[in-house]
Amino acid sequence: MKLVGISGSLVGTKTAKAVYEVLAAAKSADPSIETELIDLKEFEVEFVKGTPLSYYKDDTIKVVKTVLSADALVIGSPIYQASIPGALKNLFDHLPVDAFKGKVTGIVMTGGTDKHFLVAEHQLKSILSYLKGLIPTTNVFVHNDDFNQDNELASSEVSARIKSLASELIALQKGYAGK
């Protein structure tokens, strides 16, 4: 199984760190899982122009192809102005409508206020559903205060939720793949 994590932020490290922790928990639970992290700040994904993928530059093609090649995904997003970043939405706009068909799509959100935990419910889940993703019941919200001064996760509660998400993601994907 190939599990791809996407950090949908162009700044900072907290979202990428949280997604990485899910990938690591999945790998720990099942060492046969292949993991890859796509940190959008490391790529220049072009704005969607409505042209075929082959018309875009290498970074855009690489990111889209990596996402499409995944068996399962962990989507990580910070919350800006009560919404997901435009860079992440732009990536989703590059994908075909059935891009996530048969793929479990876990969610990790980071934010500075607890009130933002509903962004996953009201925005990200609807996008993932539209792309036909299978969404676990577990998702993870990480408050900025859950990180220490070195931007490492310092909350045992968040770590437990991350392990729970990783376990559910693996079980659902293996169950779906077995059908």
Q: Where are the beta strands (DSSP E) in 8-90?
A: 34-39, 72-78
Do 6 and 23 meet the contact criterion of CB atoms below 8 Å apart? Answer: no
pLDDT at 70: 98
Residue 143, C-beta contacts closer than 8 angstroms, at least 6 positions apart: 110, 111, 112, 113, 114
Instruction: Read off the pTM.
Output: 0.95
User: For 2-177, which CATH class?
Assistant: alpha beta
Spell out the domain ranges in the chain.
Answer: 2-177
What confidence tier does 179 reach under pLDDT thresholds 50, 70, 90? low
What confidence tens digit (pLDDT) does each residue in 8-26 have?
999 999 999 999 999 999 9
CA distance 83 to 122: 9
CA distance 6 to 63: 9
Give the orientation angle of helix 58-69 with respect to helix 86-94, to 10 degrees: 70
What confidence tens digit (pLDDT) does each residue in 40-91 have?
999 999 999 999 999 999 999 999 999 999 999 999 999 988 889 999 999 9
- Inter-CA distances, 114 with 79, 125, 145, Å: 11, 18, 10
Percent of the chain surpassing pLDDT 70:
99
